Amino acid sequence: MKFEEKTLSSKQIYKGNLTEYVVESVELPNGKVSTREIVRHPGAVAVMPFTPDGKMIFVEQFRKPIEKTIIEIPAGKIDDTDSNPHETGLRELKEETGYHASVFELVKTFYTTPGFTDEVIHLYRASELEKREELTLDEDEFLDIKVLTFEEAWKAYEDEQIVDAKTIMALLYWKIERLAAE
C-alpha cells in the first residue's frame, strides 16, 4: 500500500469495559518513526426505525463526554452475546424502544473517526415495526423516546439537539430517501 505504516511496537495503556487504549510505534512510508495513539472499539450498530406513518423513532439521553442531553437514533455496541451486527441492531432496537422490525436492512458501514479509533458503525434501516414489549434498558441507561417527523428531526438538528455523526448521517440518508421519492 502506498501510505502504509508498519507497526514496530504496540503497548496497551488501558483496557476498560468499552474501549482499549494503545500506543503504537510505527515506521512511516519515508522510513521515519512516529507514534500513534489508538482507541480500540468493538464496533456498534445504529438503527433508523421508521413508523408506518413515516416518522422516525429517536432516543433522548444525557451524554457525559459533551455534558449535554441530545437526541439520537437507537444504537449500541456489539457485544459477546451477538453473533453479528444484524443481531446487535435488532437487540438494541428492542431494548431501547420496545419495537421489533420485520424489515431490517443494512444501509452503510462506516468508521466514526479513523484518525484515532477503529470504531465502526453499521447503520440499519428498520421498518414494519411492531411494539412488543417495554424497554429493557441497562441499569445505567436513562432515556426518553421521541417519535419525530422529518421536519421535527431537521429542526432538532438545526437547534443542535442532534449533534452526533451517526444521527446526522441517518438524517441525511432520510433526506436523500425523501428527495428520491419526489
Q: For residue 88, what is the enclosing H or E element?
A: helix 85-97
Nearest in space to 166 (alpha carbons), one of 51, 47, 42, 39: 47
Q: For residue 166, what is the enclosing H or E element?
A: helix 165-181
C-alpha cell at 66: 459533551
- Is 130 buried (19+), middle (13-18) or exposed (0-12) by CB count in 10 A? exposed
Select which of 4, 67, 134, 139 is catalytic: 139
CA atoms within 13 A on the CB side of 16: 6
Is 139 marked active-site?
yes
Pairing status of strand 68-72 against strand 33-40 = unpaired
Residues with catalytic annotation?
Answer: 139
